[in-house]
Amino acid sequence: MRKVLVFGTFDILHPGHIYFLKQAKLFGNNLIVVVARDLTVKKVKGEFPTNNENVRLRHLSELKFINKATLGNRDDKYDVIEEINPEAICLGYDQTSFTDKLEDELKKRKLNVKVVRLDSFEKDKYKSSKLKHNITQD
């Protein structure tokens, strides 16, 4: 089975996430999703997610086309890549956290992984930060 790895916060699951995940699944037949830990989200985004890591993990686990959803590593964020050893890693169009050193980490760990940047789906409408802002305004 060809493993494809994606990682992210997936706080308020929306059609943009579904599009991203389904596009990633096209690169293999075993889609593995790594859900960011709450403390990692706080560190990267400056605030905790609306939904805690267990809720976000459960929501993703309920999607039938995802083969496995798991929580990220608390320490070395790249260890999970080594553990899973995917053939491909798909990144979101705006994903920047932990991606700047990704190629170097893959080389350092002697992993031959194709890294693919996917396009967006109605990014002006479906972006978690915009949806979260709309929720707090209601």
Calpha distance 56→98 (Å, rounded): 20
pLDDT of 110: 95
pLDDT averaged over every residue in the chain: 88
Tokens 């959803």 label which residue?
69
Give the integer Cα–Cα distance in Å for 4 and 85: 9
Say whether pLDDT at 135 is over 60: no
- Residue matched to tokens 């494809």: 4
Domains of the chain and CATH, by start:
3-137 (3.40.50.620)
Query: Contact, 77 vs 5, CB < 8 A?
Result: no
Q: Give yes or no for residue 10 having a pLDDT over 70.
A: yes
Predicted confidence (pLDDT) per residue in 20-42, tens digit: 999 999 999 999 999 999 999 99
Task: For residues 42-60, give the mean pLDDT.
Answer: 96
